[in-house]
Amino acid sequence: MIVEIVKGDITELKVDAIVNAANTSLLGGGGVDGAIHRKGGKAILDECVQIRNKQGGCKTGEAVITTAGNLPSKYVIHTVGPVWNNGKSREEALLQDCYLNVLQLAVDNDIKTIAFPNISTGIYKFPKELAAEIAMDVIERFEYKEQIEKIIFVCFDDENFKIYNDIVKGDFAYRVKSGLFGLAVGDALGVPVEFESRAYLKENPVTEMLSFGTHNQPIGTWSDDSSLTFCLAESLCTGYDLNDIAKNFVKWYSAQLWTPHGEVFDIGIATRNAIHNIGKGEQPELCGGQEEKDNGNGSLMRILPLVFYLQNEKDIEVIYQKVKDVSSITHAHFRAVFSCFIYVVYGLEILKGIDKVEAYQNMQKRIGAFLMDKKFDAVEIKLFDRILKNDISKYPEINIHSSGYVLDSLQAGLWCFLNWNTFEGAVLKAVNLGEDTDTTAAITGGLAGIYYGFNAIPEKWIDVLARKNNINDLCKRFSSKLKIEKSEK
């Protein structure tokens, strides 16, 4: 079941059913009830009268169904919300009953898409925030929710729209889903044009999800970037165990774990060598290449799940060590490790729900403080000046490279994320920078996904994404595992 929040007029929605905030008479009134009867016409009123004759109206908390007359939807489900009486008259329980009874009627009538107004929050004066929390809570706990494909909350006023968005975006499971889908969508947008030059893409920019091209894959196919990201998340679902993570990487390569269509069609050199070492039984954190030439973007592209795993970790030393170990399975050189570290620390700031520029500055401060007592090679640290000392977003495009070199990928990913103000704009820019298109867009898409949220990812891109149901299922398992760990701490 997908939950969407939209701002607008519920009478215009073409869904299986819209919900009416009616009164016990069922004969129409003001607010959304008035709008539905006005637009829907006499047919709805006639059916309501029939119901009245049979059962004498509709009690508060209950629901009845009619067809939708002249409205674009097929049905209207009328429910009667409670009038707010300072919480003294079981209003919360009655509002819960409204949502529950509507959902039950929807399932009984094989309704797959349904739109709710913000019941009781108008003329009946129910506090909006409390009403939104009740609505979300009931649908989350509804036993047959998987029988409904989509629930849309239609907010008429700005205040309700903001309240609903805040609830959805603040939800941890939603953020996990936003990040992992954001990464995979970016990856899949880049796959058909991987290795194309920037000049070529300036002439022929990618604006949509394409098929075939470089790797001859069907539309919506993601690459090793997403595969290894999912392998890491999959392993973290059972706890933090480097051996298990490394084993999953081998399973991907040799047993098609988390491949989009059962085959590995792209793999980096360093990752291939590391997987060979893992197979020989070496300690996981010693499997990755340690030479300067081993600084490809192959660990950065798959590190995102650590942002979620480390969400409650306050100690930056622990964060560094975990990022170092997980990167080192395939990429052990300081530059690759430190790039992953910057990405994870920035991701943790983004996860707080603050503005992306403020989050960027916080990341710079946190890493600056972390470096104070470290004796890292100064030449290496200097390589990160553009990101840590300056503002990477201010550099002109000509200074932003998008090769498979980890430092290029990190700079390009941050640059796209910071300079475009939509998910779509950021990932398309990342693809159109050319060369390592899938990885630049995956790195951008992971951050942009968390920041703008799953609902901001164009639906047409999610629709064509390979194994989207499996990814959704992984996100649910991963976030509930992390929620359990959080409550046990």
Q: Give residues in contact with ligand AR6 (CB under 6 A).
A: 9-11, 21-23, 29-33, 35, 81, 117-124, 154, 156-157, 160
From the CB of 132, what's the least distance to ligand AR6, in Å? 10
How far apart are CB 147 and ligand AR6 at their closest, in Å? 24
Using CA atoms of 245, 250, 255, 261 in order, give the dihedral in degrees to the nearest 10.
80
* DSSP three-state, residue 433: coil
What is the identity of the amino acid at 425?
Answer: G
Q: Tell me, yes or no, if 187 is annotated catalytic.
A: no
Integer Cα distance of 33 and 453 in angstroms: 32
- If the CB atoms of residues 33 and 234 are measured against ligand AR6, the closer one turns out to be 33
Report the side by side order of strands in the sheet with 17-22: 2-7, 150-155, 113-116, 17-22, 75-80, 63-67
Instruction: Report the DSSP beta bridge partners of residue 405.
Output: 296
Structure tokens belonging to residue 65: 């169904």
Dihedral sign, Cα of residue 305, residue 310, residue 316, residue 319? negative
Phi then psi for residue 419, to 5 deg, are: -90, -15
| Beta carbon nearer to ligand AR6, 121 or 226 | 121
CB of 166 to ligand AR6, least distance (A): 16
Of 46 and 313, the one with the shorter C-beta distance to ligand AR6 is: 46
State how far the Cα of 162 lies from the Cα of 167, in Å rounded to an integer. Answer: 9
DSSP states of 363-413: HHHHHHHHHTT----HHHHHTTHHHHTS-GGGS-GGG---SSBHHHHHHHH
Residues 6+ apart with CB under 8 A from 483: 172, 173
Nearer to ligand AR6, 23 or 439 (CB): 23
Structure tokens at 230: 């999912």
Choosing from 16, 33, 225, 408, the catalytic residue is 33
Minimum distance, C-beta of residue 158 to ligand AR6, in the bound complex (Å): 10
| Closer Cβ to ligand AR6, 23 or 178, answer by number | 23
Q: Rounded to the nearest whole angstrom, what is the least distance from the CB of residue 45 to ligand AR6 in the complex? A: 12
Q: Which is nearer to ligand AR6, 123 or 267 (CB)?
A: 123
Shortest spacing between CB 144 and ligand AR6, in angstroms: 25
Other residues' Cβ atoms within 10 Å of the Cβ of residue 244 = 15
Q: What is the set of active-site residues?
A: 33
